[in-house]
Structure 1
Amino acid sequence: MTEETRYATLDCHYVPHDLVLTDIGPDPLAVTRAYAAIASLGLWRAKQAVTATPPVTFVLGLPESDVLKLVHRLREAGATADAVPQTGS
């Protein structure tokens, strides 16, 4: 009987990111509307999430490019938001 050796290549370029809202800025309604559109929520639920004590982590474990698009939408509405890489636990 012969042993078979298998090798695998791991792709470590994918690091999941989170969307973190650190400040809702001067126009909370605009940020609430932007978040409601992103999360497919009603305004009431979006307002509850947006006005929670910052920092608020909204989106978990997406590719960096996707999170950066969402960060851009929130920043256009006046919020301070960042794409934060997840750390391995």
Structure 2
Amino acid sequence: MADEYFLLVCDDVPHDVVLTDPGVRVMDVVRVVRRLTGLSLWRGKVLATRVPAVVLARVPEEGAMAAVSALRDARARAETRARPEPDFPKH
């Protein structure tokens, strides 16, 4: 049987949290990135300084909005991006 994907009405479209600019308080942003991802200090700093960077991938919308809010509180620019729906096979 072929693998098929069915999008249900109750499915939450996954979102990515994208850091677009760490701002001037980079270490504050690194702390937030570490808290969100669990990365080490070194990897958190690398992620925060190489923008645009996907901080979190495929999270529910509420979690993505909370992460963006935390990054913005640290004076960074961040946004959520909805993941596109998968291509459905044509029969």
**TM-score of the superposed pair, with normalisation by structure 1:** 0.81
- Aligned amino acid, residue 54 of structure 2: T
Displaced runs of 4 or more, over 3 A = none
Name 1:78's counterpart in structure 2. 75
Partners of 1:64 and 1:76 lie apart in 2 by: 18
Partners of 1:56 and 1:84 lie apart in 2 by: 12
State the superposition RMSD in angstroms: 1.9
Once the 2 structures are TM-superposed, how far is the Cα of residue 13 of structure 1 from its aligned partner?
5.3
State the secondary structure of the residue aligned to 2:8: coil
Alignment length (residue pairs): 81
**TM-score of the superposed pair, with normalisation by structure 2:** 0.80
Q: Provide structure 2 residue ranges, at least 5 long, that are not aligned to the other structure.
A: 1-6, 87-91
Whichever of the two has the greater Rg, that structure is: 1
Q: Provide structure 1 residue ranges, at least 5 long, that are not aligned to the other structure.
A: 1-8
Once the 2 structures are TM-superposed, how far is the Cα of residue 40 of structure 1 from its aligned partner?
1.1
Once the 2 structures are TM-superposed, how far is the Cα of residue 20 of structure 1 from its aligned partner?
0.4
Query: Of 1, 6, 25, which residue of structure 2 is paired with 1:27?
Result: 25
